[in-house]
């Protein structure tokens, strides 16, 4: 038989649901901050040039992804590198379209590499080898490009 004090003081049952609701609302408001990562994973002081072929061009929010098959310098099987850009909206304002890159396009891609050394980075520019067209965007920019 428990003769200790009650663990539920008078009125606590009425305050608890309101407190829980407030805590949940505050947590939901913080989700966008957790969902959007920073660009600190990329070493902006280094540039790596990748020569290869487009595997895929994924025009999706929040960041467009480019997968590139790259021939290793020492030979061997092609390696897949993941290149992250900014949002489709920012790319559109920079002159890109969802058809700017197609699987099989030969490219030269300059990236800010991932700090951990894995095969990926943030886009600096893409040059289409066949046409010489250069596609750029200021990574993380929301500015509109100059218009003629």
* Domain assignments of the chain as residue spans, ordered by start: 48-136
pLDDT band at 15 (very low <50, low <70, confident <90, very high): low
* CB within 8 Å of 41: residues ≥ 6 apart: 114, 115, 116
pLDDT of residue 79: 97
pLDDT digits (tens, 9 = 90+) for 38-47: 668 889 899 9
pLDDT band at 82 (very low <50, low <70, confident <90, very high): very high
133/144 Cα distance (integer angstroms) = 20
Q: What is the CATH number of domain 48-136?
A: 2.40.50.1010
């Amino acid at each position: 038989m428990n003769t200790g004090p009650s663990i539920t003081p008078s009125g606590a049952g009425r305050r608890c649901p309101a407190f829980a609701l407030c805590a949940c609302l505050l947590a939901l408001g913080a989700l966008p901050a957790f969902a959007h990562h920073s660009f600190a994973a990329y070493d902006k002081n280094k540039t790596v040039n990748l020569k290869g072929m487009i595997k895929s061009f994924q025009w999706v929010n929040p960041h467009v992804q480019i997968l590139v098959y790259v021939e290793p310098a020492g030979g061997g099987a092609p390696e897949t590198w993941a290149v992250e850009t900014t949002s489709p909206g920012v790319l559109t304002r920079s002159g890109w379209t969802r058809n700017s890159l197609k699987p099989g396009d030969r490219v030269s891609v300059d990236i800010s590499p991932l700090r951990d050394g894995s095969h990926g980075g943030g886009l600096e520019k893409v040059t289409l080898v066949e046409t010489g067209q250069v596609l750029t965007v200021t990574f993380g920019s929301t500015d509109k490009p100059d218009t003629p």
